[in-house]
Amino acid sequence: MSTKKSIFQLLTEKPWEKDQIEADNEHQGKTLSLTKQKLGLRTIMAASTVLFSLFIVAYSDRMLVSDWRNMPEPWLLWLNTGILFLSSLVLHQTTKYAKKEIYEKTKNCLYFVGFLAYAFLIGQLIVWYQLMSTGYYATSNVANAFFYLFTTIHGLHIIGGIYFWGKTTSKFIKRSLKKEDINNLIDICAVYWHFLLAVWLVLFGLMLSS
Amino acid sequence: MSDEYEHKLEAKSDYVGDASSVSTPDIDSVPKAELPDQELYHSHSWWTTYVFSQDAKYIGIQYALTAIGTGLLGLVLSWLMRIQLAFPGLGWLEPTAYYQFVTMHGMIMVVYLLTALFLGGFGNLLIPLMCGARDMAFPYVNMLSYWAFVVAVLVLLASFFVPGGPTGAGWTLYPPQAITAGTPGYNGGIILMLISLILFVAGFTMGGLNYIITVLQLRARGMTLMRLPLTIWGIFTATVLAMFAFPALLVGCLMMTLDSLLGTSFFMPAMVSLGEKLTYEGGSPILFQHLFWFFGHPEVYIVALPAFGIVSDLLSVHSRKTIFGYRMMVWAIVGIGALSFFVWAHHMYVSGMNPWFGFFFATTTLIIAVPTAIKVYNWILTLWRGNIQLSLPMLFSLGFIVTFLNGGLTGLFLGNVTVDVPLSDTYFVVAHFHMVMGIAPILVIFGAIYHWYPLITGRMMNETLGKIHFWITFIGSYAIYFPMHYQGFVGVPRRYFEIYDSPYIDTSTLLLNKFITIAVLIVGAAQLLFLYNLFASARLGKKSEKNPWKANSLEWQTPQMPPEHGNWGKELPKVYRWPYDFSVPGAKEDYIPQNQPPSEIIGAKVEKT
């Protein structure tokens, strides 16, 4: 691939000059040395980051109003955080197994990740149930509403991840892909899970600290 | 400029000296392709070819037709509103209906027509062809994107049929009034509107993912970013903006949906409605305004940047001249895109804010005029001493430059807090934003359709009908919006559903209202001419030759025209130059396509027998 260029070098090229024409004719037509799936994931993560940042801005703005009443954090949330952390860790290990071609362990790890993802979602639902049965409804205070909103949006992202995890796992079991393609997919799952862990830590930290 | 060309030709003739025999392909050689060819989905039935198509060209046409269809509804709504304004005595519309039509007209035109047509329509049609790709990066996701858009449109249209009708909150949907009793559609239409927007954002994100990755990763060999046509730069930058701006709309829509359906208080303050205290408490309506305009201002450039890019290419092709200042044009597009995220609060001067806050946003607003002015100068300098062909695309492009300049200049007035405050609620603002982001981009869309029509159908559109369409549309738009500037200056307030003869309203206003309405009806009817031309020419139009405009960019260089599935036949094109080599001295033709090998363009010497 061509040598890496900063965006400023790139934008100051003079495409009509002789030297540049010669260099450009060598170009392979790809800007970044990433697979299209990896770049796609990064694009989605960028858009999601903007989405969550705007939620956080809205949260910080709204909590300054005097009607704000903090919500208790059930201990189960800590357990859920632990589950998410564990699944991130397991996926990290999965990528290593897949690269070393230890496929039996890779498969088990993938199953375990799926189990953890579902466990996390069920855990979040139980937290909802606990809060609602003790009277913390979305309508009773806006702090509660933000909690339900954050967990829903984060949960939807997890569900998206589960969909992609399912496709990856089924392709892995069928062995229908080449080695580098399956590694690519598992890498993507891992990065996405790390991203969702980071998002959750920020959201959870924000709700703890306020 | 000519020095550079001579320099380049000199360089090439050096090569010819070395290449003694005709068949030596040395100067044409490019490195072997390192990247595998894209795997394509091949459709098997009528349904997967024409309805659930995964071919970007078809998706582009589907997007365009759906957007134009929705836009026609927006056009009819504007007729109905104008008739009401010109003849308030008739009792033509109820106030409720008037506000509903204002809202739907605005939202349809900005989001469902312009955004969908530029990015979904032209983006899908042109990105793979101009970049030299076989299709988008993720064709299946691309198809989902279109169908999410269709569902969004259907949900929006459904709001006309729910009890209470569509929302009448204005296209900005400001809470608390949008979801409070007294506003039309406060408990039915608004919900459908919000859901429709959420669907649109979801659909667009899927499409945008495709546009970004295709432009970055799937170009033909030799196609560097700085060899891309400005059309692609415009669409690409607009897509990046949209990926960052639409989340703000999504956040606003989601939280308002919850406020309305569940009774949360994100945006809703404590308030008394119809004598009763509502359960809301402490919410911040201003927060919604910030979120909305953090989306809303970039949205202006999401529409404008593709128009800038397309018009640059049209001007260059139809004046047979290199675009003036290509790099400057790219920088301006990127610069405007970046700046557009720092100007949003100039839409909120009348909402009240810290004076320093207003000062900051007035400053950034005026700074954004610099790259925009650079673009206007460069368009004019592209025309300077060009071999101007007064073809339809050129006429519309010229119309665009004048109209955009006009709308941009009134923008300079409104960007200043002190000028904006008295003008903000008058027709001056209506005239400004219709000129700058209504008429100007629409003129580019017409120009682009006349330009790329042969690429889609293999036939030309009728020139005479097109010219009549152009002159009625162009002069008509000025007949509509120039008087509105004047009305704004004399203080005619906007958003009023009837304006009577009264001590506060000048008689000239009533006369002008009638005049404007007549112009609106004529301009609107002239679009039927365009529609007839659009559909009839597909069968009756003159057969187009290959590359009818003698353009350089890759979309005209496909082996078949119109391009087939997979675009490029067996081999992907190789690119040897940028798309602006027009009227090169010494060349046989006045244009050199991007994929023409260097050996073929040095006079008769290398002509193959």
CA distance B310 to B450: 12
Q: Outline where B459-502 has alpha helix (H).
A: 463-489
Q: Is the pLDDT of residue A7 over 90?
A: no
Number of domains in chain A: 2
Residue B338, classified by CB atoms within 10 Å of its CB into exposed (0-12), middle (13-18) or buried (19+), is: middle
Task: Report which DSSP code applies to B331.
Answer: H
CATH number for the domain that contains residue A123: 1.20.120.80
| A106 shares its domain with A28 | no
State whether A62 and B284 contact (CB < 8 Å).
yes
Tokens 């892995």 identify what position? A172
Q: Which residue range(s) make up the domain with A21? A: 1-33
**Angle between helix B440-457 and B507-540 (nearest 10):** 10
> Which of B219, B284, B334 has its CB closest to that of A65?
B284
* pLDDT at A16 (0 to 100): 87
| A92 shares its domain with A140 | yes
CATH number for the domain that contains residue B469: 1.20.210.10
| A112 shares its domain with A204 | yes
* pLDDT at B608 (0 to 100): 32
CA distance B495 to B427: 9
* Nearest CA distance, A69 vs chain B (angstrom): 12
CA distance B249 to B246: 5
Q: Is residue B275 part of a domain?
A: no
Kindly identify which residue of chain B lies nearest to residue A40, measuring between CA atoms. B209
State whether B226 and A17 contact (CB < 8 Å).
no
CB B43 within 8 A of CB B139: no
Residue A112: Cβ within 10 Å count? 16
Tens of pLDDT, residue by residue over B449-474, are: 999 999 999 999 999 999 999 999 99
Mean pLDDT over B267-286 rounds to 91
Sign of the dihedral through C-alpha B186, B191, B196, B198: positive
* pLDDT at B583 (0 to 100): 86
Number of domains in chain B: 1
| A75 shares its domain with A171 | yes
Rounded-to-5 percentages of helix, strand, coil across chain B: 65, 0, 30
Kindly identify which residue of chain A lies nearest to residue B289, measuring between CA atoms. A58
CB B223 within 8 A of CB B132: yes
CA distance B507 to B527: 31
Q: Which residue range(s) make up the domain with B190? A: 2-10+56-267+283-601
State whether A16 and B8 contact (CB < 8 Å).
yes
Tens of pLDDT, residue by residue over A98-140, are: 988 888 899 999 999 999 999 999 999 999 999 999 988 888 8
CB B583 within 8 A of CB B590: yes
| A19 shares its domain with A103 | no
Strands B276-277 and B272-273: antiparallel
Residues forming beta bridges with residue B221, ordered by sequence position? B574
CA distance B428 to B490: 9
What's chain A's average pLDDT? 91
Confidence of residue A8 (pLDDT cuts 50, 70, 90): confident
Predicted TM-score (pTM) of this structure: 0.93
| A115 shares its domain with A177 | yes
State whether B224 and A27 contact (CB < 8 Å).
yes
Contacting residues of B for A55, CB less than 8 Å apart: 251
State whether A11 and B263 contact (CB < 8 Å).
no
> Which of B209, B217, B226 has its CB closest to that of A30?
B217
| A11 shares its domain with A87 | no
* Contacts for B403 with CB less than 8 Å, ≥ 6 apart: B435, B436, B439, B440, B443, B477
Size of interface A-B (CB pairs under 8 A): 156
Q: Is residue B444 part of a domain?
A: yes
CA distance B461 to B549: 13
CB B282 within 8 A of CB A67: yes
Kindly identify which residue of chain A lies nearest to residue B280, measuring between CA atoms. A139
Interface probe with B: pick from A142, A150, A157, most Cβ of B within 10 Å: A142
Q: Is the pLDDT of residue B431 over 50?
A: yes
* Nearest CA distance, A89 vs chain B (angstrom): 28
Q: Is residue B253 part of a domain?
A: yes
* pLDDT at B603 (0 to 100): 54
More confident residue, B9 or B257: B257
Long-range contacts of B532-539 (CB under 8 A, 24+ apart): B532/B465, B533/B461, B533/B462, B533/B465, B533/B466, B533/B469, B534/B449, B534/B453, B534/B461, B536/B462, B537/B453, B537/B457, B537/B459, B537/B460, B537/B461, B537/B462, B538/B457, B538/B459, B539/B459
* pLDDT at B20 (0 to 100): 40
* Nearest CA distance, A50 vs chain B (angstrom): 6
Contacting residues of A for B224, CB less than 8 Å apart: 13, 15, 24, 27
* pLDDT at B419 (0 to 100): 93
Tens of pLDDT, residue by residue over B152-206, are: 999 999 999 999 999 999 999 999 999 999 999 998 999 999 999 999 999 999 9
Tens of pLDDT, residue by residue over A45-79, are: 999 999 999 999 999 999 988 888 888 888 999 99
Contacting residues of B for A18, CB less than 8 Å apart: 7-8, 11
CA distances from B142 to B55, B70, B90, B206, B426 (A): 9, 20, 48, 7, 42
Range of weakest confidence among A142-146, B13-17, B185-189, B191-195? B13-17
Contacting residues of B for A36, CB less than 8 Å apart: 137-138, 213, 217-218
CB B167 within 8 A of CB B185: yes
CB A56 within 8 A of CB A202: yes
| A19 shares its domain with A67 | no
CA count, 13 A, side-chain hemisphere, B515 = 16
